Structure 1
Amino acid sequence: MKLNSITNRYIFKEMFVPFSINIFVFAFLFLMTEMVEIANWIVNYNLSIWAVLTIIFYTMPAFLIFIIPMSVMLAILLTFLRLSGDNEIVALKSCGMSIYGLLTPVLLFTLLGFLLTIFMTLYAVPRSKASLEEMALKVATSNMDIGLKERTFNDTFKGVMLYINKIDVKNRKLIDVFIEDKRQPDIVSTVVAPEGRLIGEPEKFIYHLLLSNGTIHQTNPKERSANSIQFNTYKLSLDFKKQVGKAAKREKDRDEMSVAELRQYIENYSKSDPEDYHKARILL
């Protein structure tokens, strides 16, 4: 009995070393796919190291639900390969210990890995996704140019469609800017400019697009009128307050909900929409 107890503790401890190494290696490999984007945030957008580390921390649970099972499997395999290579299994059998007696620490280690994966899946992943959304909102309000993408229509602001052909990150210039502004009643303004700059007031959640040497085309469909205005400098103000308020009050997505929240969501909201109901049931 004493031999079994000592052996079980020994094997259990032996599995922790390869398990820890596997977790580190797999996590590093997963993060390597995001390294270019992370380096871009730090170098070009002056995002603080603390903000980047916080974002990485919030993304880790989504990786760990895959990494933990793989690490447990490899830890068990590597541990028993080493024991077999060092003839320790033969020595234990010669002491009268059954080979099936070695399953106890393996089953316990597997159970711990299973419980940890369940915790990550049911609790950590939904919480981290919700926290990541909040973090992304804070980053966007202080570094809006992170959200701007080349050759992509951006409709973040209500009534304004923004398209930028090229972003000169080094000089913080926007090249070939196209804007469709529908904020004025009955008037659609189309602004085209060869270049511009984005200047922000993060504390007020307001950003200003300073455009140079462009043209404004205004049309009024009701009056069937149109006119064009050329400008040397034009400032377009974009208010981020409404977007911040909406994001703060938004309902959680299904993959951000805990099990209890998902059950309540299914009972209260999904019955009227069969497709949404089945998607929520699959997540649950």
Structure 2
Amino acid sequence: MKINVYKPWGSGQLFLPSVSILDRYLIQEIIPPFVFGVGLFSSVALTVGTVFDLVRQVAESGMAVSIAVQIFLLKMPEFIVLAFPMAMILSALMVYGRLSSDSELIALRSCGISLYRLLIPTLIFSFLITGLTFGFNEVIVPAANYRASITYEQALNEGQLPIQEDNIFYPEYDKIEIEGTDKKISRLVRLFYAEKFDRGQMLEVTILDRSQPDLTQIISSKSANWNFAQNTWDFFNGTIYIVNPDGSYRNIVRFDHKQIQLSRTPLDLASQKRGFDEMNIAQAQDYLKLMKLSGDQQRIVKTKVRIQQKYALPFSCVVFALLGVALGSRPQSTSRATSFGISVMVIFGYYLLSFVTGALGQKEILTPFFAAWLPTFLGIGIASFLLVRASK
């Protein structure tokens, strides 16, 4: 990039950066195929992921066409964002493949311009798309997906809010020491289960309470509400079974209404339930705090992996840009069909690797950080290797 000197009116000088003709040329070449790729990949993904299901609901369940269109529009941001990295590799392959097949790369390199210098405009553009992807995923996509989910459920339930959650399951754990060792193991101290959560009310609640070493309580109740004024649970129409350590019943108590001091976390889990694609990073962090309160290690690890993936996903744009430049710069003719085929293979391989590493992270074979970022690191490493070979 050159630094040109501009002389403003009056005395003095002002130094402003200007984009070289080469940079403008490459960026102007990249933008049209990138826009084409976004439209292509997002429309294909949207059709497969949403349109078929909406058409089936309109035909079989009587969903209104206007509601189906609304859901379709709400789901569009998610698939557009998914198309950004895919379009990045397609545009890079098409542009640099055409430059290579037309011998423009040879002409530029004969003038002393290296492949690394030709990479800079595309790399800068990919970082801009990375920022755009991150912004979409944080601000627009979670809210749109959540609204689409609510609209979909309301339409299937004839305009009424459905029961928000079924099978609320909340275990509480505590660490206990193993006698004769310094090791600690997790011990279940309380288990909260409700069949349904309907507009703030838990229905058909069962609680297993093992918090006291020599006593076990089983609480069964038709319903339970959280008492915000007293920060406790109000249980209605239930029975408390008190069990001795040998398994025999010590006492049975029936009640119409009883207040019990328990954690509010089951209410938070049920009322704030969202899929990971309906949460931004801040909401996922809040959900992680709730999981830590429950002590459910499997869900804690899964949430940590998903949070790291939210950070890592936008940088796939950079990975695909580097791979596109490296593969497109090879001295051979590359048609649009070939570019599309290569793009599909690279995209499939990258997301397959992401799925595998994510699963390994949830199994705690990899840390959440490496589970999310390993495909990015490997992609950058492979692209760097190919760029070094192509530059020779």
Per the normalisation by structure 2, the TM-score is 0.41
Q: Distance in 2 between matches of 1:25 and 1:133?
A: 25
The residue number in structure 2 matching 1:259 is 281
- Between 110-119 and 74-83, the greater mean CA deviation after superposition: 110-119
1:55 corresponds, among 60, 67, 71, to 71
Deviation at 1:15, TM superposition (A): 0.8
Residue 9 in 1 paired to residue 24 in 2? yes
Q: Distance in 2 between matches of 1:106 and 1:37?
A: 37
8 A Cα contact 2:34 2:91, kept in partner: yes
Deviation at 1:44, TM superposition (A): 5.2
Q: Distance in 2 between matches of 1:257 and 1:37?
A: 23
Residue 270 in 1 paired to residue 328 in 2? no
Rate the CA distance shift 1:119–1:279 in 2: closer, same or farther, 3 A: same
1:30 corresponds, among 45, 50, 71, to 45
The residue number in structure 1 matching 2:312 is none
Q: How does 1:97-136 map to 2 (within 5 A)?
A: 97-136=113-152
Q: Distance in 1 between matches of 2:306 and 2:19?
A: 42
Q: Distance in 1 between matches of 2:292 and 2:197?
A: 29
8 A Cα contact 2:30 2:91, kept in partner: yes
Rate the CA distance shift 1:157–1:105 in 2: closer, same or farther, 3 A: closer
Structure 1 spans left out of the alignment, 5+ residues: 145-154, 159-184, 186-245
Deviation at 1:20, TM superposition (A): 1.2
What whole-Å deviation, never above 9, does each CA across 1:190-231 have from its counterpart, x for those lacking one? xxxxxxxxxxxxxxxxxxxxxxxxxxxxxxxxxxxxxxxxxx
Letter in 1 for 2:302: K
Deviation at 1:11, TM superposition (A): 0.6
8 A Cα contact 1:254 1:280, kept in partner: no
Letter in 1 for 2:305: I
Q: How does 1:1-284 map to 2 (within 5 A)?
A: 1=2, 5-33=20-48, 34-43=50-59, 47-142=63-158, 250-255=271-276, 256-273=278-295, 274-284=297-307
Aligned length: 186
8 A Cα contact 1:4 1:97, kept in partner: no
8 A Cα contact 1:254 1:262, kept in partner: no
Q: Distance in 2 between matches of 1:68 and 1:276?
A: 30
- Between 30-39 and 76-85, the greater mean CA deviation after superposition: 30-39
Identity percentage of aligned residues: 25
8 A Cα contact 1:4 1:101, kept in partner: no
Rate the CA distance shift 1:15–1:262 in 2: closer, same or farther, 3 A: same
Structure 2 spans left out of the alignment, 5+ residues: 5-17, 161-194, 199-221, 223-266, 308-392
Letter in 2 for 1:261: Q
The residue number in structure 2 matching 1:209 is none
Rate the CA distance shift 1:89–1:132 in 2: closer, same or farther, 3 A: same
8 A Cα contact 2:23 2:121, kept in partner: yes
Deviation at 1:70, TM superposition (A): 1.5
Rate the CA distance shift 1:12–1:282 in 2: closer, same or farther, 3 A: same
Rate the CA distance shift 1:37–1:262 in 2: closer, same or farther, 3 A: closer
Per the normalisation by structure 1, the TM-score is 0.55
The residue number in structure 2 matching 1:192 is none
SS of equivalent residue, structure 2 residue 113: coil
Deviation at 1:96, TM superposition (A): 4.0
Q: Distance in 2 between matches of 1:272 and 1:31?
A: 36
8 A Cα contact 2:33 2:94, kept in partner: yes
Rate the CA distance shift 1:252–1:123 in 2: closer, same or farther, 3 A: farther
SS of equivalent residue, structure 1 residue 270: helix
The residue number in structure 1 matching 2:349 is none
Rate the CA distance shift 1:14–1:4 in 2: closer, same or farther, 3 A: same
Q: Distance in 1 between matches of 2:135 and 2:28?
A: 22
